[in-house]
A and B are shown apart, each in its own frame.
Chain A
């Protein structure tokens, strides 16, 4: 089920942003601090009604470690709890909403004793959350399927002690599975995905693509202690960690798509760490595997080169059929601090690259 439209309000650095006409593969472009990564995070958090820990996971991706309950404010626009986060997602027959508000029932602070305060009614519009202690977040998911009643259910996350959270999942079902690939790939996160691929005898799908980066790679397997090993034709298998950032990034992307099956994969700075010679084939691998697995892909980049390779791929006979499955969105900050997306379909993207228009 594909996400068609997205509306984000008060999330991270995004005051307000609407993105329409989403397709199978969606490329977000923009200057530094334009909000590209935040868009991926907003989609990810909107998917995870069963996992209230996601706000902390997202902050950890950004090396923001929570030491006190007040650190939940990293999610809010201008770090202001009063800016209620609102993320609306529109699928073909489903509308899903997520409202994130601070919770203030019980407070943990690493510098002071845990204290109880009076639980405030978080739905009150008059509460000034910046003046009261915050203990966690309330994530209210709202699901409206066509010809069905609207379902609303809240998830909560409360900081109880350092690195200890009390989690209450929402009763709202998840629409799609989501996997996010960030710049800091944790090898341990790849292991279960690769394991499933090997069990299903599909490891050749990633080996074929890894060969494009390092032609000596002949096989891939799992070693003891969760180490991924590559057969490079020598007497011993090499740990994947020794083969460079590009191979790891490539593997992370492919495993995510092959594992997401019918879901969503979000890739931040997808071309970082990859040599330009690998980009063309990476695009092909993304398009083919996303289609095969019915996975919708959202990615960010600021490399013009990667767009040129995408354009070249889409002109090849076997890939012309994907021209209408790709959209690129240039994200710009407007004078009123709202963000706006400018949509480039294949023809517009092709024209922009030919005319060397600055769309990043």
Chain B
């Protein structure tokens, strides 16, 4: 293993693995250890692994959500937090923040942006559903909690995969990334993440 990529959650890990396999090849993927950190505040729990990699000359990459002000995040907030964590813990790593290392958002925002155009209308359906809930609430003077971005991806995957595919993918904590008719891994939306990985993965 020449590097470890730390993702924020279990669901991000298979996605990053699929992206590396498709754009850098399986041989490169086999040289990379992928670990999830169980949340952006849990870097310290992985401190020994970061230290070990630093000492052995292996690279640490961190791929987390930028999040937004709604959940005490946002690109700049999370950026500053990770820079501060590096100094506090005395470790070295390079990082990328979903969706594009520029905007607020999360892994699921990136996923939404790479759905296969043939099924983009499924996402539109979900957006209409969100709008419907919001309007109904306004009519009654009630603020309904809107389903999270994760629910949108869940609904999309459940709609476009067969029940068996969906069940198996869910068990593996992924959304059928190997299926080209579901996800567009050639989408330009992936370019910021691919460019970040290119800086560190020697092909």
Contact = CB atoms under 8 A, between A and B. Distances in A.
Interface of A: 330, 332, 334-335, 340, 342-344, 347-348, 351-352, 354-359
B38 A354 contact: yes
Contacts of A358: 33
24 contacts: A330-B52, A335-B56, A335-B57, A342-B48, A342-B49, A342-B51, A342-B52, A344-B48, A348-B45, A348-B47, A348-B48, A351-B42, A351-B45, A352-B48, A354-B38, A355-B36, A355-B37, A355-B38, A356-B35, A357-B35, A357-B46, A357-B49, A359-B48, A359-B49
- The main secondary structure of chain A at its interface with chain B is mixed
A357 B56 CA distance: 16
Contacts of A342: 48-49, 51-52
A340 B57 CA distance: 14
B12 to A, nearest CB: 13
B55 interface: yes
A348 B38 CA distance: 12
| Most chain A CB inside 10 Å of its own CB: which residue of B38, B46, B47, B48 | B48
- The main secondary structure of chain B at its interface with chain A is helix
Given A351-B42, A351-B46, A334 B35 contact: no
A23 to B, nearest CB: 16
A347 B57 contact: no
Interface string B18-60: 0000000000000001011110001001111101100111000
Contacts of B36: 355
Nearest to B52: A342
A96 B47 CA distance: 30
A343 B51 CA distance: 10
| Most chain B CB inside 10 Å of its own CB: which residue of A344, A354, A355, A359 | A355
Nearest to B42: A351
